[in-house]
Amino acid sequence: MNPPTDARHVPLTDADKLAQDAAAAAQVRRLANHPDVVALRVEKVRAQVDAVIWLGIFLGLAFTMVNVQQFAAAGAPVWSLGWFAGWLLDPMVSLVLVAVLRAEQITARYQVSTGVWAHRTKWFAFLATYVMNTWESWTRLDVAGVALHSVPPVLVFLAAETAPVLRDKLTEAVLVAADHTHTGTAAGVRPAPAGPSTLAAAELAAVAAPVAAKPVRVRKPARKPSKAKPAGRKLLADYVADARAAWAPGTEITPAWVRSVTDCARGTSSSVAAALAAELPDTEPATADPEPADLREAA
C-alpha cells in the first residue's frame, strides 16, 4: 500500500498527517459550535422536554379527575345530574391551568415574565385540585390515601413550575453559544492558505482560542448615574488657547468677547485679551468694559 501524498505527490510525514487531522477537527468544532447548529439542537431538546412534561401533566390531571368527580358528586346516584356535574369540576380547573402553562411555554422561549397573576392562578388550581383529591383521606386520617392522592397533584404543580425554568435555560444556552462564537471569532486565528506546517499551527491556534476565550455573562445590577467629576483648574494659557481657537480675522478682542468664548471670570478676561492681542499681529486689546449690556451679562 502506497503512503499518502500531497498534491505534489510528496509523501506526507507524521507531522503533516497530524496537521490534516487537526484542521479537520477544528472545522468540525467550529461547525458544531455555530449558533445556528446549537439553536437547532436546543430546539430538538426543547421539543422532547415539552412533550415529556406535557405527557406527565395530562396523566396527572387524568388521575385527579376521578377523585375530584367523586368529591363533587358526594354520593349522587350514577347517571344523575349531580353525578354528571361532578365530571365538570376537574376539567374546569385543569383547562385554566393548561392555558397558563401553554402561554408560559411561548413566553419562556423569549425570556419574558408572565407576571404575578399567572403564578397565582397556578397556585390556586393546584391547591383546589389537591384539596379535592385528599379531602376524604384527611377526614378519615388515612395516611396511605393522603400519600397516594398527593403525589399526582404535587407532581403536576412541580412540572408546571419547572417547565418555564427549563425553557428559559434552554434559551439562555443558545444566547451563550452565540456570545461564545462571537468572542472566539474575534480572538481566534483564521488559517491562511499555506503549507502543511503553517496550516497545522494555524488550525491548532483556532482550536485553542475559543477554549481560552470563554465568555462569562455577568448580570450587574443597574447603578445610579454618578455625578460628573469637576474638571481640573484651567490656567491662563488654557484660556488663551481657547480664545485663539475661537478668534477670526476682523474680530475685536475685548474682555467681553473673551468671556463669551472661554467662559472665564471677569478678572481673568482682561489678562486673556491682553495676552491674545500680544500674540496676534495688528490687534490691540480693549481692556475696558464700558457697555452696560456687558455688565448685565457678567451679572
pLDDT of 259-276, one tens digit each? Answer: 888 888 777 888 888 887
Domain end marker among 190, 208, 226: 208
Instruction: Decide if 189 is inside a domain.
Output: yes
Instruction: Decide if 230 is inside a domain.
Output: no
User: Could you tell me which of 213, 189, 207, 195 has the C-alpha nearest to residue 22?
Assistant: 207
Q: Is 22 in the same domain as 82?
A: yes
Q: Is 146 in the same domain as 279?
A: no
Of 298 and 88, more confident: 88
11 - beta bridge partners?
5
Average pLDDT across the chain, whole number: 75
Instruction: Decide if 7 is inside a domain.
Output: no
* pTM for the model: 0.48
Q: Is 154 in the same domain as 116?
A: yes
Enumerate residues 6+ apart whose C-beta is below 8 A from 22: 200, 203, 204, 207
Instruction: Give Dmax over CA atoms of the chain in angstroms.
Output: 117
Q: Which of 41-55, 83-97, 102-116, 283-297 has the lowest mean pLDDT?
A: 283-297
Instruction: Decide if 1 is inside a domain.
Output: no
CA angle 184, 185, 191 (to 5 degrees): 110
Of 227 and 273, more confident: 273
Q: How many structural domains comprise the chain? A: 2
Instruction: Decide if 9 is inside a domain.
Output: no
Q: 220 to each of 113, 176, 178, 215, 223, how far by Cα in Å?
A: 19, 17, 20, 15, 8
Q: Is 173 in the same domain as 293?
A: no
Q: Is 37 in the same domain as 181?
A: yes
Q: Is 198 in the same domain as 242?
A: no
Q: Is 55 in the same domain as 139?
A: yes
Enumerate residues 6+ apart whose C-beta is below 8 A from 93: 68, 125, 128, 129
Q: Is 138 in the same domain as 255?
A: no
Percentage, residues of the chain above pLDDT 70: 72
The amino acid at 84: F
Q: Is 89 in the same domain as 199?
A: yes
Instruction: Decide if 279 is inside a domain.
Output: yes
Give counts: helices (H), strands (E), the chain: 10, 0
Q: Is 165 in the same domain as 283?
A: no
Q: Which of 116-130, 146-160, 249-263, 278-292 has the lowest mean pLDDT?
A: 278-292
Q: Contact 88/190 with Cβ under 8 angstroms?
A: no
Q: How far apart are CA 271 and CA 248, in angstroms?
A: 19
Q: Is 97 in the same domain as 202?
A: yes
Instruction: Decide if 5 is inside a domain.
Output: no
Instruction: Decide if 36 is inside a domain.
Output: yes
The packing angle between helices 116-139 and 81-107, to 10°, is 140
Tell me which residue range forms the domain holding 290.
236-298
163-176 residues labelled b (16+ CB within 10 A) or e (exposed): bbebbbebbebbee
Q: Is 84 in the same domain as 46?
A: yes
Of 241 and 203, more confident: 241
- pLDDT tens digits, residue range 151-173? 988 998 898 888 888 888 888 88
Q: What is the pLDDT of residue 201?
A: 46
